Amino acid sequence: MRKIQMVDTKNQYLAIKAEVDGAIQEVLDSAAYINGKAVKDFAQNLSTYLGVDHVIPCANGTDALQIAMMALDLQPGDEVITPSFTYIATTEVVALLGLKPVFVDVDPITFCMDVESLKKAITPKTKLIVPVHLYGHAAPMEEIMEIAKAHHLFVIEDNAQAIGCDYTYSNGVTKKTGTIGHIGATSFYPSKNLGAFGDGGALCTNDKTLADKMTMIANHGQSARYYHDLVGCNSRLDSIQAAILNIKLKKLDAYNSARQSVAKYYSDAFASIKEITTPSSLHYSTHVYHQYTMQLIGVDRDKFIAHLAAKEIPCMIYYPVPGHLQKMFGEQKNTNWNLPITDKLTPCVCSLPVHTEMDEVQLAYIVEGVKSFLNKK
């Protein structure tokens, strides 16, 4: 049996080695390492795939969030509503820009922003909502956009973990996550469903004014070379990464399907085990399983992880400390956050390996390892 990994980027590469090596060589031969043809092609191809008017590649997913917020002309002290139960990058850029993060709770099934918690968090200082499509499931975007419209708020979708996910409106219309809010931000970190062989990110929008502004911000605020109209940053997707992503984009739906098959195998195997709550999707969203995150009920999580580790089965906690309890937000320590679902989920979530290169031998071994700890046959 091959070694089990949380993500197997090496074998994914080997399956497309000839294409990738050829594409990289083309970039090397062109010597257009920055903003070359591969970058322009990828932006257009991703725009077509997502069904969105504008895609702006950038250096990474965190930069994408920062550039998006910079484009909205938010002012220090403006409030940004986002889940506490997510990766820190979502709120890190809020603090970096001198904005105030306001943490809300999540839904216990989807792990995404809870609409009622969102409604209660809005104040006259609120300017932006940042829903996160966590683990590969969509946040309830139709309701979020209705709330945003009613209160004249911007929405930036954090789509780093859900590229390729389909969101279906109540009228049957389907859109890709990341294309519903005013701006979508995503990451091409190697472990992502669409992962580069290094860092990368992108923004998308249907608003040309925002697209032009974000393009400028990502390039030192330049309207033309050496003419800097805005305070910007230096955030580019390089041509080699774009060339690799162009190849992998064509395979994204197949990659997501492979992840869904792994998730189904786990969920079928654990369906009758009362100590495990398996992840599921609601009617409005597909699930592309960036992570297969289950909840352990009445189980010592540390001992469970140690048991799997002894069998060389990796298992991760995403995330052990929610945003509102991080030291970096210590100035808000006296805030009386009411996040009962976040507080409940944090000590019991646990993620098993899920990626495109898993085989049935590995899956059966992982399932046996989980069941052996729980004394299940």
All structural domains of the chain, each given as residue ranges with its CATH number in brackets, are: 9-249 (3.40.640.10), 252-373 (3.90.1150.10)
Nearest-angstrom CA–CA distance, 240 and 286: 31
Could you list the pLDDT tens digit for every one of the 377 residues in the chain?
999 999 999 999 999 999 999 999 999 999 999 999 999 999 999 999 999 999 999 999 999 999 999 999 999 999 999 999 999 999 999 999 999 999 999 999 999 999 999 999 999 999 999 999 999 999 999 999 999 999 999 999 999 999 999 999 999 999 999 999 999 999 999 999 999 999 999 999 999 999 999 999 999 999 999 999 999 999 999 999 999 999 999 999 999 999 999 999 999 999 999 999 999 999 999 999 999 999 999 999 999 999 999 999 999 999 999 999 999 987 666 578 899 999 999 999 999 999 999 999 999 999 999 999 998 64
Count of alpha carbons within 13 angstroms of residue 140, beta-carbon side: 20
Q: Cα-atom radius of gyration of the chain, to the nearest Å? A: 21
pTM here is: 0.96
- 33 — phi, psi (to 5°)? -75, -25
Alpha-helical runs (H) found in 51-151: 61-70, 89-96, 115-121, 141-151
Longest dimension (CA), the chain: 68
Residue 150, judged by CB atoms within 10 A of its CB (0-12, 13-18, 19+), counts as exposed
Q: Which residue has the tokens 């390996």?
A: 353
Distances (CA, A) of 37 to 27, 49, 223, 245: 9, 18, 21, 13
